[in-house]
């Protein structure tokens, strides 16, 4: 189950993301917004991020104008590793090496076809583990407010 959320600026890209999920047969839960009127992206970021952090959803995809604000907000929820991404290489590596559990895209930054490729590669790539698991565990330690070294 994929959590999806967006603000008014990200909403135009939502059908594109959903089309990829449908193509791959992956179910999703849409946490809004459902309207084009101006809204505050942290509210929607938090809804999707909490669903991922709690295990209700496996991964999350969030959308705003740049991907920056909604991605930053998602990363404030404990347990979230959200990659703000506008290229397929970063999308792939964020799963392979960083075990990103959320993806943030900017509807004013990436075009429809690039967004589809990013979502496809991000969803179809798995964490490599090994040495990267140690580093992700250190990120999680920071997330818990612990000191490193
Ligand atoms: C909304 O105008 C815009 O600021 C928002 O979608 C996002 O790009 C913020 O990071």
For residues 41 and 98, is the Cβ–Cβ distance under 8 A?
no
Active site residue 64: yes
Pocket test for ligand 1, best of 5, 6, 7, 105 (most atoms within 8 A of CB): 7
Determine the Cα–Cα distance for residues 94 and 99; give it in Å rounded to an integer.
Answer: 6
What's the rounded mean pLDDT across residues 9-17?
98
Distance between Cα 45 and ligand 1 center (Å): 12
Residue 2 confidence (pLDDT) above 90 = yes
What tokens were used for 59?
A: 């991964």
For residues 66 and 47, is the Cβ–Cβ distance under 8 A?
no
Quote the pLDDT of residue 46: 98
Quote the pLDDT of residue 117: 98
Active site residue 57: no
pLDDT in tens, 34-51: 999 999 999 999 999 999
| Atom from ligand 1 closest to the CA of residue 8 | 6
pLDDT in tens, 64-91: 999 999 999 999 999 999 999 999 999 9
Show the 3-state SS of 18-67. HHHHHHHCCCEEECCCCCCCCCCHHHHHHHHHHHHHCCCCCEEEEEECCC
Percent of the chain at pLDDT exceeding 90: 98
Fold of 2-143: Ribose 5-phosphate Isomerase B; Chain: A, (3.40.1400)
Q: Of 128, 123, 133, 113, which Cα lies nearest the Cα of 57?
A: 123
Provide CB contacts within 8 A for 106, sequence distance 6+. Answer: 10, 63, 64, 65, 66, 67, 68, 84, 86
What's the rounded mean pLDDT across residues 18-28?
98
Quote the pLDDT of residue 149: 85
Residue 18 confidence (pLDDT) above 90 = yes
Pocket test for ligand 1, best of 9, 14, 33 (most atoms within 8 A of CB): 9
**Number of C-beta neighbours around residue 120 at 10 A:** 16
Quote the pLDDT of residue 111: 98
Q: Cβ < 6 Å from ligand 1: which residues?
A: 7, 9, 41, 64-66, 68-69
pTM, full prediction: 0.97
Catalytic residue among 6, 57, 64, 85: 64
Would you call the peptide bond into 19 cis, given omega within 30 degrees of 0 as the criterion?
A: no
For residues 29 and 2, is the Cβ–Cβ distance under 8 A?
yes
Determine the Cα–Cα distance for residues 50 and 80; give it in Å rounded to an integer.
Answer: 8
Percent of the chain at pLDDT exceeding 70: 100
For atom 4 of ligand 1, the residue with the nearest CA is 65
pLDDT in tens, 123-138: 999 999 889 999 999 9
For residues 102 and 81, is the Cβ–Cβ distance under 8 A?
yes
């Amino acid at each position: 189950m994929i959590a999806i959320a967006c603000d008014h600026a990200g909403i135009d890209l939502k059908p594109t993301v959903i089309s990829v999920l449908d193509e791959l047969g992956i179910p999703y839960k849409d946490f809004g917004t459902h309207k084009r009127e101006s809204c505050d992206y942290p509210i929607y970021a938090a809804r999707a991020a909490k669903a991922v952090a709690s295990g209700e959803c496996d991964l999350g995809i969030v959308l705003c104008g740049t991907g920056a604000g909604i991605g930053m907000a998602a990363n404030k929820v404990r347990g979230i590793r959200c990659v703000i991404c506008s290229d397929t290489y970063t999308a792939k590596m964020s799963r392979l090496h960083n075990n990103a559990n959320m993806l943030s895209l900017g509807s004013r930054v990436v075009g429809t076809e690039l967004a589809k490729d990013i979502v496809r590669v991000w969803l179809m790539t798995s964490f490599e583990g090994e040495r990267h698991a140690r580093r992700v565990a250190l990120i999680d330690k920071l997330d818990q407010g612990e000191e490193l070294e």
